[in-house]
Amino acid sequence: MSDNIFIKYIKIINERNSTIDLRGQVIIQNSCNKEKTVTIEYTTDSWDTDNRVNATWSRKLSPNQDLYDFEILSVKSSKLPLYLEFTVLCDIAGSILWISDGFNCSYDKDTPKEFFFNYTEDDDNSNYSMDEERKKLDELRRQLEDERKKLEEYNNEGRRKLKEERKQLEEERNQLEEVRKQLEEDRRQFEKQMMEINYHEDNTNSNPSQLSNSIFVKSIKVVNEYNGVIDLQGQVVVQTIGSDKSVIIEYTTDSWITNNSVNATWSHTLSSEQDSYYFKISVSKSSNLPLYLEFTALCNVAGTVLWTNSYEYLYDVGTPKELFFNDTFTESYIDSFFPPTPNISKDEKKECSICAEDVDIKAFLNVTDLCNHDSNICRECIGEYIKHELEDKGNINISCPLDDCHEILRERDVKEFATEDVFTKYERLMINFALSQIPTFQWCLNTNCGSGQDHYQGENVPIMTCNACGQKSCVVHGIPISDGCERCLKQQEERRKQEEQRQQEEEGRKRRENEESASERYVTKLKQCPKCFSRIEKTSGCDHMKCRRPGCGYEFCWICMADFDQIRSQGNRVHKVNCKYYA
């Protein structure tokens, strides 16, 4: 019977957190009783990388067949199926037995968890050389690489179509925004008409001596700020005759694309006709942008609605937390809510303060919503000013071009006046600025790349390889390199020498400490003669000591220092109580 290898089956035994555990069995057919080593080689990326596990002997199936078990641990993406390729090698006393064809299996949610394989003996194909197998694997890798390139081209085409669809959706959104604005204007006109009707009805039925009803916002202030949430509190004054009143505050932070409302609460009476109400608002604020709040107050007085103009409040670091308003509303001045549109002639011109040319008056707009001055700069000059700030200065914090105004243009202001190319550059600079605020972010030093990445390892791994172009750079010295950074290598050599010197100094210090410690231990082993006070060392023998200093010869007990002449005459009771010779 010829030597051969059979795969019996492979199955999924566990799946957790995108990790797949597989188990399989291999049958080795060989008549030799020598030691065998069975190895499973597998890959999940078309052999760009390969992994190995050793199979474990399970039992004998027949005199010529042995059963081996193996386990494989692999990672599976939640969006893609697991595609596993593997082959089996058997080392029999230095002779390699290899399955001629590789195995593969694909697993996803709806596929079976167990795969069985059927193989027949084939003496001519059972032993393939390593070179032939490598050639086959190389050919298979080339085919898979071609398929990968085709798939990448298909994905690029899909991204292009998605970009076109996104642009089309943006255009549709702009159209819907225009429709929303028109509906908002129609709503305002309708409310104006209804308020005029209510006004005439109230004038007809009310007492002429009565005071006119009014409502106005007195103040608003920031009372708390935590985790990006701003708590505000404001005060509303209502001047009406009657007690049946309800006050509502409507507010928005996105230019009335969405709006919210809260009820104001009665606070106290200011006079017989005036009551004070307070309201609370909680809104979210981005850490990179100021809070821009628009709000209005409504009061329902027995079915008659009083409505204020829209108030604006801008809050950021450095701006006042409390703002006072000087604004009132009465029913006799309904038209003040909706100021008449000035009768502007189509041919009216105005001189631009920058280009000094007479331009159509419609081309003069406020640079920002926060500017409180007249607009004396035409749209074209504002666009050129923005372009100059971005391209020549690289400045993204663009302020109003008027000398006396220092308001900063927001993103929507730049988009209003800049061309599409200039606005695209503005967005790129804003993104670059945001990335530069990340401490571990590093730009690729390849002048033709322009990419960057988060090198979170920092100086612990000084060499960074760009994910986009493959350029290597030293993040410590900020220089592009080909292999190793010469400066880093020099610093490493200097640090190595310093470390060696430090170790030598440490060894010398420990040696001196050991010598001093040995000297101290030696000194502590010495005792003084009770008579002449000479230092005596005991090296061996009994505890009956005799001073060898010329002229002394004093005899004493080494343990308790008792005089031996007294011990001879009086006995061992002369020893000290804690001495072992005391009796």
Strand partners, 563: 556
Contact 440, 455 (CB under 8 A): yes
pTM greater than 0.85 (yes/no) = no
User: Rounded to an integer, what distance in angstroms lies between the CA atom of residue 30 and that of residue 66?
Assistant: 8
Structure confidence at residue 207 (pLDDT): 44
DSSP, collapsed to helix, strand or coil, labels residue 545 as strand
User: Rounded to an integer, what distance in angstroms lies between the CA atom of residue 422 and that of residue 416?
Assistant: 11
Beta-carbon contacts of 480 under 8 Å, excluding residues fewer than 6 positions away, are 445, 446, 471, 472, 473, 474
Q: How many residues does the chain have?
A: 583
Beta-carbon contacts of 499 under 8 Å, excluding residues fewer than 6 positions away, are none
Strand partners, 169: none
Q: Can you give 454-503 as a three-state secondary structure string? A: ECCCHHHCCEEECCCCCCEEECCCCEEECCCCHHHHHHHHHHHHHHHHHH
Structure confidence at residue 199 (pLDDT): 55
Contact 41, 99 (CB under 8 A): no
275 conformational bin, left if phi > 0, alpha if psi -120 to 50, beta if neither: beta
Beta-carbon contacts of 231 under 8 Å, excluding residues fewer than 6 positions away, are 222, 223, 224, 225, 280, 281, 282
User: Rounded to an integer, what distance in angstroms lies between the CA atom of residue 327 and that of residue 311?
Assistant: 9
Contact 252, 258 (CB under 8 A): yes
Residues of the chain where predicted confidence (pLDDT) is lower than 50: 120-129, 204-211, 327-346
User: Rounded to an integer, what distance in angstroms lies between the CA atom of residue 235 and that of residue 308?
Assistant: 13
User: Rounded to an integer, what distance in angstroms lies between the CA atom of residue 185 and that of residue 163?
Assistant: 33
End-to-end CA distance of the chain: 95
- Report the sign of the C-alpha dihedral through residues 192, 196, 202, 208, in that order: positive
DSSP, collapsed to helix, strand or coil, labels residue 441 as strand
User: Rounded to an integer, what distance in angstroms lies between the CA atom of residue 101 and that of residue 136?
Assistant: 9
Classify residue 7 by burial, with Cβ atoms within 10 Å: 0-12, 13-18, 19+.
buried
